Structure 1
């Protein structure tokens, strides 16, 4: 990571792209020789700008180092009509503008037949042909959401990234018989991925084999929400790269194999102001009123934002009882089947006070998901909501009548149901741009229709020979 690039980011992203670039370029010019010298010392020949489509899939292109200064001064135009959920053909001229705070050198070398080289990467924002921030840019959406509530507190989060390692990308075939904290195979992939992430300035704090065979986890140390969303994208990229070099395939698919645990992305959230974690309050048994209202907001609006946290048909195969994934909108401190878990307060670790939202999966668009989470939580703060009593047992085993008596609601069990709540939600509409709201619904509606028309292996297995 090039540590000396720490620039002021335009707070509201309301200025034109040329003004945005000029803001960076004035500061950047003071370091250009040093940066290019660092590139030369490390044999960096290309810079790779990175952004995501509306579904959170990583997209990139490369510019040779000779064009790097031009990228900073002018950005780089591209055809937005070819990107999922971006512009129509008649309004397709978009421009990538780098966020130089994210510039870092990839810690590996590429080797061709005759040449070897290294690359640097940089995230950024997308602008339209009028020079305004593009309404389909989910990274800009997250920044706007964070800025909207920054006077109350700034969102920080950490994530637990779960993934499987399979033989190849054709069939999800196990590569080990390990289990929770039982090593199995391919622990070296976790270690190598962490070392590379650490070299890029992305801190990790934990790794282990997960519950299911061939399942692994790497935990990323908490940071501000935009950086964490960037880290999610890079972690998936690095893990897949290292797995490929080991001759295996890393999958972040929520539920690649039935009847075993799926992949989650448990997200730990806290709010900070003036260097203090405002989720902590010693007089309130460690959990402040703001934290409690944030929890209540997530529970009240949980079904409405769910499609943005679990955005694939396959996501709902993971959210089933018996596999340590939440199915009911409850919270607790010890209950690992809960929608929200609050780790118990430990004296002397006040800054570790947080809530753990357990429904997310790593196939989400992290920028979109974090935006929806923060909007729901802060709406709870705005409404001064109070959460229900915590539940410290798996409510799946309760009779339905008892759950109704306790006013326990369920998460949606399918993308179609979640999408219905999503599209009818005032909170979601107010939280997203009109473009993102409309395009996301269009994309997911098509996915549901295509799936409903398809003939699955289940149908062939159970119906073909007898009907």
Structure 2
């Protein structure tokens, strides 16, 4: 949690030569520009300009100048780069030339949601993401195949699980960048893995998710593998989920929050499940499709896990291709809608919905990307939150 002056001092004392200024497009894809360390003072004071018309969904060529303003609290040294002439990374806030925040900056959108929850409801929300991914072998040309790194199953161990060393490497790298991993294991699919990291505020959790995916891809590549975060890379095998655990500073509001998220579930789907492939995952292999909740029930969209400490809810429908900043912001506003209107959730579902061919009395999530987009486009809730 550095200040600007501390970052400038750190860069000077630690022989940092390059600083990567990172930001995100609307799909959550990380972009960056590298500057020399002696340009960092200018970046803090004036920002670093970039061509917004080259970023899909941002601006047209006639008003394309936007500026990156680094967030000093996000400083991390890239541990896989040389110790002499270090390389650092900071996430940035995007602003117009006059200094006003850019409304399509997803970090700003999430910061506004956090601020609104605190100022209007005196409420803080903590997020704990669980990200699943596959490891695939490369061919002789160094390109990705669909051949899994191993054929192990859920929580198997070596020698069946060949991913132990890579997960350990990823965890050490996460630690060195200030992200605290809590657990890692082999998942159900062949070559499928999961690493969970510590709960944090929503913005830090989104930053950590973005950093996590970058680290996994980097460390996989260094081991001659390809890390795949797509929701359904192998037909007939488990898809990869992005399970979003949320806890509230006032636990008494959790039922209202659940009701609010369920109310807006169809409108959220386009932002939680952003690809055509996403809809091949929903309804299969423990990926939910019914808009309901249950205690300890992994077949429902929202699960309330058994826990001896902080009570939390787990949203199980999202997948790793989504933009975590937009997803978390929408979840916060949906939860707050439930709290503001004192919404009461339906009774929890206690049965295994995967074992039932049809549940006509429970609404289902959109089953195609086109339908999800249509619902989102027509949603007043989404228009109010995104404001663009």
Per the normalisation by structure 2, the TM-score is: 0.94
**1:179 corresponds to 2:156:** no
> Which residue does 2:311 correspond to in 1?
353
Distance apart, 1:130 and its partner CA: 3.3
**1:320 corresponds to 2:295:** no
- Deviations along 1:30-54, whole A, 9 cap, x unmatched? x3663234422xxx21010110001
Distance apart, 1:271 and its partner CA: 1.8
Unaligned ranges ≥5, structure 1: 8-27, 273-277, 280-287, 435-467
Indicate if the aligned counterparts of 1:333 and 1:342 stay in contact, CA closer than 8 A. Answer: yes
Indicate if the aligned counterparts of 1:45 and 1:64 stay in contact, CA closer than 8 A. Answer: yes
Give the strand-richer structure, 1 or 2.
2
Distance apart, 1:330 and its partner CA: 1.5
> Which residue does 2:193 correspond to in 1?
216
Q: Distance in 2 between matches of 1:386 and 1:72?
A: 46
SS at match of 2:198: strand
Distance apart, 1:109 and its partner CA: 2.1
> Which residue does 1:374 correspond to in 2?
332
> Which residue does 1:293 correspond to in 2?
256
Q: Distance in 1 between matches of 2:99 and 2:163?
A: 47
- Deviations along 1:315-346, whole A, 9 cap, x unmatched? 1111123x010110111112111100101242
Q: Distance in 2 between matches of 1:387 and 1:165?
A: 39
Q: Distance in 2 between matches of 1:399 and 1:167?
A: 36
> Which residue does 1:362 correspond to in 2?
320
Q: Distance in 2 between matches of 1:174 and 1:108?
A: 25
Q: Distance in 1 between matches of 2:254 and 2:7?
A: 43
Q: Distance in 1 between matches of 2:26 and 2:268?
A: 15
Q: Distance in 1 between matches of 2:132 and 2:33?
A: 27
Indicate if the aligned counterparts of 2:95 and 2:101 stay in contact, CA closer than 8 A. Answer: yes
**1:56 corresponds to 2:28:** yes
Name the count of aligned residue pairs.
379
> Which residue does 1:463 correspond to in 2?
none
> Which residue does 2:17 correspond to in 1?
45
> Which residue does 1:159 correspond to in 2?
129
Distance apart, 1:149 and its partner CA: 1.5
- Deviations along 1:166-189, whole A, 9 cap, x unmatched? 013432111211000113112211
Q: Distance in 2 between matches of 1:432 and 1:260?
A: 35
> Which residue does 2:103 correspond to in 1?
135
Indicate if the aligned counterparts of 1:39 and 1:45 stay in contact, CA closer than 8 A. Answer: no
Closer, same or farther: CA 213–399 of 1 in aligned 2, 3 Å: closer
Distance apart, 1:394 and its partner CA: 2.1
Q: Distance in 1 between matches of 2:354 and 2:316?
A: 16
> Residue 115 of structure 2: which of 147, 152, 170 is its match?
147
Q: Distance in 2 between matches of 1:371 and 1:90?
A: 30
Q: Distance in 2 between matches of 1:137 and 1:376?
A: 20
> Which residue does 2:10 correspond to in 1?
35
Indicate if the aligned counterparts of 2:297 and 2:304 stay in contact, CA closer than 8 A. Answer: no
**1:79 corresponds to 2:51:** yes
Q: Distance in 2 between matches of 1:360 and 1:258?
A: 18
Unaligned ranges ≥5, structure 2: none
Indicate if the aligned counterparts of 2:286 and 2:354 stay in contact, CA closer than 8 A. Answer: no
Q: Distance in 2 between matches of 1:331 and 1:130?
A: 46
> Which residue does 2:347 correspond to in 1?
389
Alignment RMSD (CA, Å): 1.6
- Deviations along 1:368-406, whole A, 9 cap, x unmatched? 111111111111111111111111222244464xx33xx
> Which residue does 1:408 correspond to in 2?
362
Q: Distance in 1 between matches of 2:86 and 2:165?
A: 23
Q: Distance in 2 between matches of 1:192 and 1:74?
A: 38
Indicate if the aligned counterparts of 1:97 and 1:124 stay in contact, CA closer than 8 A. Answer: yes
Indicate if the aligned counterparts of 1:108 and 1:118 stay in contact, CA closer than 8 A. Answer: no
- Deviations along 1:78-137, whole A, 9 cap, x unmatched? 1000011111111100000111111121222249xxxx6321110111112332111211
Q: Distance in 2 between matches of 1:213 and 1:33?
A: 46
